[in-house]
Structure 1
Amino acid sequence: MASCDPFSVDFHGSAQDLFNKISTLIHQHGGSVSGGPSGGTFSVPVPVFGTVAGTFSVSGQRCTIHITQRSFFLACGIIENFVRSNIPTVEATAITAF
């Protein structure tokens, strides 16, 4: 398993709303998340590619994500693009799948 360089995403809304969105998205995909609005860990199975796991931390309106586990066949850029497309606006945003 490989890791990715940490990356940050600015978001609008509260840290609690962001945590709720992250938790919902991960649970919808059969994963788990622990922690709270200021940060934590996550793990989510990705069909064919295994598991994507990592940590997140929130400071102000910025969420920093560090992918600590992923398949070599699942590029860091794909994961980062998915996160960036789902985090920026957390209030009343529909959650989409991979």
Structure 2
Amino acid sequence: MSACNFTFPLNGSPATMLQKARTAVTSQGGNFQGNEDAGNFSLTVFGNTIAGSYSIASNNMDIIISEKPFLLPCGTIEGFLKSQLGL
């Protein structure tokens, strides 16, 4: 499975962006660990794991999806993240 890499501009403070990301993951039953610098997350969707990490620097949030279902395109994940983060 190939990784997906995304860079999103911060929409508000790092704390606000982090809370939106945490809510998006935990509302789907996932795990989210980290702080305003970096962390990781994972969730299961229809029996498949989506996992990755993030870092926040220079007014951007960089997200790396390291594990995802083969048939789930990176573009679909990106669209979901943008909607959840208010971008």
> Do Structure 1 and Structure 2 share a fold, with TM-score over 0.5?
yes
TM-score, normalised via structure 1 length = 0.79
Counting only pairs closer than 5 Å after superposition, residues 53-72 of structure 1 correspond to structure 2 as 53-72=51-70
Partner of residue 9, structure 1: 8
1:84 maps onto 2:82 in alignment: yes
Structure 1: runs of 5+ lacking an equivalent: 90-98
Cα deviation per residue 1:22-78 (whole Å; 9 max; x = unaligned)?
Answer: 111111100001111111000011125x01000101113210110000010111111
Alpha-carbon distance, 1:11 to partner: 2.2
The structure 1 segments of at least 4 consecutive aligned residues displaced by more than 6 Å after TM superposition are none
Report sequence identity in percent.
Answer: 31
Count how many residue pairs are aligned between Structure 1 and Structure 2: 87
TM-score, normalised via structure 2 length = 0.88
Are 1:7 and 1:65, in contact at CA under 8 Å, matched by a contact in 2?
A: yes
RMSD over aligned CA atoms reads 1.5
More strand by share: 2
